[in-house]
Structure 1
Amino acid sequence: MLGEAIAAHRADQLDVAEVLYRKVLQRQAGQPDALHFLGVLCHQRNRSEEGIRLIRMALRAVPLHADAHNNLGNIHKECDQLTEAEACYRSALVCQAQHHDALSNLALVLDVQGREDEALEAYARLLAQAPQLGRAHYLMGMFRCRHVHDTGDVEQAVECFRNAVLHDDADVRAREELGVALYMLGRSEEAVAVYREWLVREPDNPVPRHLFAACGGEAPPVQADEAYVRNVFDSFAASFDEQLLKNLDYRAPQILVAALVAKLGAPQAMLDVLDAGCGTGLCGPLIRPHARRLVGVDLSGGMLAQAGLRGGYDELVEAELAAWLRAGSSAWDIVLSADTLIYFGELVPVLSATHAALRPGGWLAFTLEALVGESDRVELAASGRYRHSRACIERALEAAGFRESVIVGESLRKELGTQVAGWVVLARKSGV
C-alpha cells in the first residue's frame, strides 16, 4: 500500500496518495516513511504546518533520515523560515555528509541570508564532492551570476555552464544561461553558436529558436512565441518565486501595485480586476483588497497551479492574453500586468485589446524593461525579453486609444549582479 501511495504521489495524484498514506498509518501508526511523504504532500497542498509536524514525527522514529531532514528544510525554506531551513540541511549533512541536495539547498539559504562567503564555500564543497554532476556546475554558475563584482565572475560562470552542459547534455537551463552570459560579455558570436548547436539538436524547441534571434542570429519576431513563453515558465514554475524574489531582488509586483493604488484611494473591494499574466500570483494579495472579483490569466499551466496554491483569485484561466481579451465579453475596472508585456515587441495589438476590455475610466497598469534613448525603438535583448523606449510606449498607448498616461522609470530586478532598468506605466481609459 505504501508503494502504491508513493507511485500515486509521483504521478501527481495527490488525492489518491493522501488516502493511501493515511490508510498505511491506520494500519501501522507512526510508520516513518508514510509520515515523511504525507508531510511533503501536505506542504504541496498548502498545509505546511501539518507537513512540518508529520515529518518531525517521522524523524523522532528515524532521527538519522537524511532525506526527511532535507525535505523538512525545503518546507521551512519555502515558508521563508530560513534559520530553521539551515538547521535542517545541516542535520541532513550530519546524517549523510555527501547528500548533494542538502548541500546545494544549504548553499542557497546561506546566499539568501547574505552570507556570500559561506554560500560560496558550500557550492565549492558540492563541486568537490560531485565534479561529474552537471547540476553542481550549473548552481555554481548561477551563484557567480548573482554576485558579479567584475567581468571575471561572468567568465567563471561561462565555464561553469559549459561544464554543466558537458556533464548533463539535457540541461537546457545551463545552455540558456551560457548563451546569455556569453552575450553579456560581448561574445555574441559564441552565444549565437550555442543556440545554433542547440537548434540542430532540437529543431522544434521554441526556446533556442527565440534566444537565437535574441542574440542576433536572425530577425526578432514581433512577439515571443506562445510555445516559448509556456515552455520557459512551465519549466521553473515551482522555483519561480525563489529565483526572482530571493535571488534577483524582484520588485515589479510591489512597485506596480503601489503606483496603481495611489490612484485608486482606500480599498473598498468594489472593482473587477484582471491580473494579466498572473504567473504564480504575486500581485494577487496586493490588489485583492480593492477587488470585488479577481481573475488571473496566464499561458503557463504550471504557473497557474502555483497561483492556485497561493489563493485569493476568484478564477484562473490558461490562455494567451491578447486573444483571450479580444474573445471575452467581460468589462474590467483594472487590468494590471507585471512583467508580461516584456514578451511583446509590438505593443499596439495587446494594448488595443486591453483598452476595449476596460470600462470607461478603467485603469491599465503594467511594467516593461527600459530601452534608453529618445527615439521610438524596441529591441529583443539576450535575455529573451523585449525592451521598449519611452517614445515607443507613448506611441503604442495613443494608438490603442489611451489619452491619459504616466510612465515612470524604476529598477525592477537584478541580472548578472546589476539592476535592470524598467518602466512602470499607468494608463486610463477615457470616460466615467
Structure 2
Amino acid sequence: MNPRAQTSLQNSSGDLLADRRYAYAEACLSEGDAEGAAEMAEQALEIAPRYAAAWFLLGRAREARHLATADVAHHHAALRAYGNALDLDPHDELGARLRLVQIGEGAALGAISPAYIRALFDGYAPRFERHLVGELQYRGPELLVRALDGLDGARADFGDVIDLGCGTGLVGEALNGRTRTLTGIDISPGMLTEAARRRRYDRLIEGDLVPILRGEKQDSADLVIAADVFIYVGGLSPVMAETARILRPTGLVAFTVQWNPDGGLVLGADARYAHGTRYLRRLADEAGLDMLGLEPAVIRRERGSEVPARVVLLRKPGPPAP
C-alpha cells in the first residue's frame, strides 16, 4: 500500500504560471523524465521561491537523477531541496523529513510526521478499503480477532475496547457485537468520517495516539487493539506505556507489526517501520506487560508479494494473589 503514490502533492503557489510549471514537472516525473521535472520545478521556483511543494518535487527529481547517474551533485541537490521544503513546511505535511532519512540524512525515529500521515490518509480515505482489502488482500483485523479467540479463556465479549488508528472502521466491523463500548482514535478526519458511517463506534476521537491515551482514565479499558498502525509510528514505548496505564488488570493488547528479522526497529525502503522480536520483547517488559503471542502472519500483499508481519498479543498482569 502506498497511498502517497496515488495522492497529488499539489497545493497552489498563488501564481498561475508557477502552478503550471509545477504541473508540467509532476507530469515529467511520472513519465520517468527526472531531468525535465527538475527543470520545470526550478522554473516554478524562480517565479514562486516559497512554493514548498515545488521544492519537494525538485528533491524527488534530483533524487531520481542521483539513482540513475550516481552523480553526488544530484544527491546534494536533493538534500538542499528537501531541506528547503521542510523549512517552508515545518509541520512536514509533504513528508520531506521522511525523504531525507531515506537518502541518508537524519534519524529514523520521528521521520514520519503526524501532519504527513493526516494528509496522506485524508486523501486516501474514500478509496482506502477498495485498495487495501480488494487489491492488497488486507486481513489485519480478521487475524487479530482470530488470535484473541485462540487464547486460553478467550472472551465472547471483549468489554471496553480502544481501537488505535481505527481508519475507516475495519476493526470495528471485525468486533461487531462483541464489545461493551468501542472507541476509535485516528489522526485523519477523512478516515473518521468513513468510520462514522459504519455506526460501530461509541466514540470517535481525532488526534495523535499518545496525547489522547493520556486523557483516558486509568484502568478503563479491557482491550487495546491496533491493526497495521504501528508501521507509521516507529518507536512504540510512549504508546505502550499509556496503553498499560489505561488497561484494567488482565486487560489485553493486540496489534500487528511489519516484521524486521534482524530483531530491532528499522525504517524500511517502503517508508514503513518494521519491528523485530528483540524490540517487541523489550517493549513489553518496559511497559510491564506479559507476552502471550508473537505469531508470524501475512496481513497484506505489496507488488504481488506477501509482506511478512507478526500478530502480537500482550496482557497486563492481574492483581497479586492474596
* Contact map agreement 1:192 1:217 (CA 8 A) in 2: no
Against the structure 1 CA distance between its residues 208 and 384, is the aligned structure 2 distance closer, same or farther, given a 3 Å change threshold?
Answer: same
- Choose from 366, 387, 399 the match for 2:286: 399
Aligned to 2:229: 340
How many pairs are equivalent?
280
Identity between Structure 1 and Structure 2 (%): 32
Distance apart, 1:411 and its partner CA? 2.0
> Residue type of the partner of 1:288?
N
Aligned to 1:378: 265
Which has a greater percent of strand? 2
- Choose from 194, 209, 212 the match for 1:321: 209
Distance apart, 1:197 and its partner CA? 2.9
Mapping 1:210-225, distance limit 5 Å: 210-222=98-110, 224-225=112-113
Superimposed CA distance per residue, residues 28-62 of structure 1 (whole angstroms, 9 cap, x where no aligned partner): xxxxxxxxxxxxxxxxxxxxxxxxxxxxxxxxxxx
Gaps of 5+ in 2: 1-22, 45-52
Q: Hey, what's the Cα distance between the residues in 2 that align with 1:351 and 1:280?
A: 23
**Mapped pair 1:359 → 2:232:** no
Which has a greater percent of helix? 1
Q: Hey, what's the Cα distance between the residues in 1 that align with 2:260 and 2:76?
A: 22
Aligned to 1:80: none
Q: Hey, what's the Cα distance between the residues in 1 that align with 2:114 and 2:290?
A: 30
RCO (CA 8 Å, sep 6+): is it higher in 1 or 2? 2
Superimposed CA distance per residue, residues 260-313 of structure 1 (whole angstroms, 9 cap, x where no aligned partner): 232276764461111111011111110122201111011111111111122211
> Residue type of the partner of 1:393?
L
Against the structure 1 CA distance between its residues 390 and 241, is the aligned structure 2 distance closer, same or farther, given a 3 Å change threshold?
Answer: same
Distance apart, 1:249 and its partner CA? 2.5
Q: CA RMSD in A?
A: 3.8
Q: Hey, what's the Cα distance between the residues in 2 that align with 1:196 and 1:251?
A: 40
- Please state whether the residue corresponding to 1:283 is helix, strand or coil: helix
Gaps of 5+ in 1: 1-131, 142-157
Aligned to 2:188: 300
- Please state whether the residue corresponding to 1:372 is helix, strand or coil: coil
- Choose from 59, 73, 81 the match for 1:197: 81
Aligned to 2:48: none
Aligned to 1:159: 32
* Contact map agreement 1:279 1:307 (CA 8 A) in 2: yes
Q: Hey, what's the Cα distance between the residues in 2 that align with 1:181 and 1:367?
A: 32
Aligned to 1:256: 144
Distance apart, 1:184 and its partner CA? 10
Against the structure 1 CA distance between its residues 317 and 355, is the aligned structure 2 distance closer, same or farther, given a 3 Å change threshold?
Answer: same
Superimposed CA distance per residue, residues 128-161 of structure 1 (whole angstroms, 9 cap, x where no aligned partner): xxxx9999999xx7xxxxxxxxxxxxxxxx8289
Q: Hey, what's the Cα distance between the residues in 1 that align with 2:167 and 2:97?
A: 23
Larger Rg: 1
Aligned to 2:6: none
